[in-house]
Structure 1
Amino acid sequence: MSSLRIVTYNIAHGRGLRPFSALSSQRRIRSQLTKIAKLLSTFKADVVALQEIDQDSSWAGHFDHLEYLRRFTRFPYAVFGVNTRRDGLFHFNYGNAFLSKHPILDSENIAFGKKTLGEKGFLFVELDVGGKRVPMVNMHLHHRSRAHRIKQVEMLMGYLTKKSAEMRPKWTVQPIVCGDLNNPSHTADATRSLFQYFSQHGDYRLFPMDEKTYPSPLPQRTLDFVFLPPSCTNASCSVVKSFLSDHRPVVVDCKLK
């Protein structure tokens, strides 16, 4: 069986614990991303799912954060999923991304809408893990509106249902889904809806079960999750104490049948 270590981490645009990205200089953001890269390197992960990562944004130093992290962490593969694009003097380009030790065979990014500020979405990839084709999703849901989150996970469920019908014979496992869902699992919200959907397709497990992820200095809620399909066995999870973002990183280990 192949081992797989997954990390999901909302890095808050590299602003650290500051409330607004625009208050941070490029020098400060580069310093913060260097610290994040060093933290990621200690995890020795196979794949890292990142949220709130900038490709070229006025408020985040005008440089590609994914490429910066990739160089420092020495991951050979990376893919960006930009959900917010805004041109002009004060421009934004940001979304979700993957860093991977394994080849990325395919990728597709889906934005939930067309807003030019604050748009969310999900990034789908297929990885080659030791010859096994492993589908993964990195998602970020709306931070305020339950109604928006429910619609967003319905979009994901529709996408995965269609994708699974097409690709399931080629996949070694069912999709692994992770990211910042912006709601805990015990409420009647998007995380629970998504888990119920996955439960119809096998004995999925949700991590972390008890540990809180947000806000990082004194966590009160679990907003960041990894959904593991039944063919991912011997699973364990840890939430890492870190103050480099307002979220704490989640690390999940498992084995692929």
Structure 2
Amino acid sequence: MTTRLKLLTFNIAHGRGLSLYQGLQKEKRIRNNLTRIARVIRESGADLVALQEVDQDSHWNKQLDLLEIIREESGFEHLLYGINTRRSGKRHLAYGNGILSRHPVHIWENNPFGTASLGEKGFLYAEIDIAGHHLPLINLHLDYKSRKKRIEQVEQIISFITDKPHPGNNGNTLAPIICGDFNSRSAPLGDAVSHLFRFVQRHGDYKIYPRQARTFPAHFPSKGIDFIMLPYPYQMTESKVIKTKTSDHLPVLVEFELAD
């Protein structure tokens, strides 16, 4: 018996669509775009969704809980927030990564890379209960400015993976799926994607998707910076980039099988 699952990773750009700054958008327009994002997710048939740039309570998008709105409109049962930027006061912020799941969550933890009050990135780890297995998922968002900083952030992820033994729990915890917005292409050997991929390849038979498709910017994609790293024993059955104008990134969908 095999279980077939779909995983979607999507940087939703704070719900602003293709606009340059979410603070200039009216609440109605943000809500309408969240409805469109939820439709993309729903129509993809995803069982697991990894989102980046998702706000829980930020002044610049009218204190809307973006993940809860998307969860409700796309019909998911389980929701996890990983807040990496948190700032109080009149111009308060609370945003980071999020996970939606149609399956129960076994354990989870959030790992900000630092403590900046604006623009901080991080990774959200969860183990999802599926078909008698604990499916580990890492949802990351790396720095967009500095290659050096991205490498340092990847080293934090590598330390986390190294310190967390797999398999565990009597052998029913698998190697982690790693996905998100890497803010770097797969080709440059000295950047984050290749650095992390070389590490995971030494510890398991990983494949990276999409292999060539571009994901950014959405209106005229010129580079691929959003990826899913899928380890053995998962078997990919479909991989695609979904065309949409609901964000400045395009979502990546991978369907895969897991033997029970």
Provide the rounded CA distance (Å) in 2 between the counterparts of 1:235 and 1:184: 23
Report the alpha carbon displacement of residue 235 of structure 1 after superposing the two structures with TM.
3.5
Report the alpha carbon displacement of residue 190 of structure 1 after superposing the two structures with TM.
0.5
Cα RMSD after superposing both structures: 1.2
Report the alpha carbon displacement of residue 17 of structure 1 after superposing the two structures with TM.
0.7
Provide the rounded CA distance (Å) in 2 between the counterparts of 1:203 and 1:248: 26
3-state DSSP of counterpart to 2:200? helix
Provide the rounded CA distance (Å) in 2 between the counterparts of 1:235 and 1:196: 23
Report the alpha carbon displacement of residue 171 of structure 1 after superposing the two structures with TM.
3.7
Given the superposition, is the C-alpha separation of residues 256 and 214 from structure 1 closer, same or farther in structure 2, using an over 3 Å criterion?
A: same
The answer on whether the counterparts of 1:173 and 1:256 sit within 8 Å (CA) in structure 2 is no
Given the superposition, is the C-alpha separation of residues 119 and 147 from structure 1 closer, same or farther in structure 2, using an over 3 Å criterion?
A: same
* Aligned position for 2:50: 49
3-state DSSP of counterpart to 1:200? helix
The answer on whether the counterparts of 1:157 and 1:197 sit within 8 Å (CA) in structure 2 is yes
Among 224, 240, 243, which residue is 1:238 paired with? 240
* Aligned position for 1:22: 23
Per the normalisation by structure 2, the TM-score is 0.96
* Aligned position for 1:8: 9
Report the alpha carbon displacement of residue 167 of structure 1 after superposing the two structures with TM.
3.3
**1:138-153 correspondence runs (5 A):** 138-153=139-154
**Residue-pair matches, total:** 257
3-state DSSP of counterpart to 2:168? helix
The answer on whether the counterparts of 2:166 and 2:174 sit within 8 Å (CA) in structure 1 is no
Letter in 2 for 1:109: N
Report the alpha carbon displacement of residue 91 of structure 1 after superposing the two structures with TM.
0.6
1:187-227 C-alpha deviation (Å, 9 max, x unpaired):
12000000000110121000000110000011000000000
Report the alpha carbon displacement of residue 93 of structure 1 after superposing the two structures with TM.
0.3
Among 183, 196, 217, which residue is 1:215 paired with? 217
* Aligned position for 1:161: 162
Identity score, percent: 42
Provide the rounded CA distance (Å) in 2 between the counterparts of 1:234 and 1:83: 31
1:232-257 C-alpha deviation (Å, 9 max, x unpaired):
11442100111110000000011113
* Aligned position for 2:120: 119
Provide the rounded CA distance (Å) in 1 between the counterparts of 2:3 and 2:115: 39
Letter in 2 for 1:137: I
* Aligned position for 2:99: 98
* Aligned position for 2:134: 133
The answer on whether the counterparts of 1:133 and 1:170 sit within 8 Å (CA) in structure 2 is no
Provide the rounded CA distance (Å) in 1 between the counterparts of 2:144 and 2:98: 18
Give the ranges of 4+ consecutive aligned residues of structure 1 lying more than 4 Å apart after TM superposition. none
Per the normalisation by structure 1, the TM-score is 0.97
Structure 1 residue runs without a partner (length 5+): none
Report the alpha carbon displacement of residue 47 of structure 1 after superposing the two structures with TM.
0.1
1:88-121 C-alpha deviation (Å, 9 max, x unpaired):
0011100000000010111100000000000000
Report the alpha carbon displacement of residue 131 of structure 1 after superposing the two structures with TM.
1.8
The answer on whether the counterparts of 2:166 and 2:175 sit within 8 Å (CA) in structure 1 is no
Letter in 2 for 1:191: V
1:73-95 C-alpha deviation (Å, 9 max, x unpaired):
11010100000000000111000
3-state DSSP of counterpart to 1:167? coil
Provide the rounded CA distance (Å) in 2 between the counterparts of 1:234 and 1:30: 34
3-state DSSP of counterpart to 2:160? helix
Among 195, 198, 204, which residue is 1:196 paired with? 198
1:32-55 C-alpha deviation (Å, 9 max, x unpaired):
101111111101111000000000
The answer on whether the counterparts of 2:112 and 2:122 sit within 8 Å (CA) in structure 1 is yes
* Aligned position for 1:109: 110
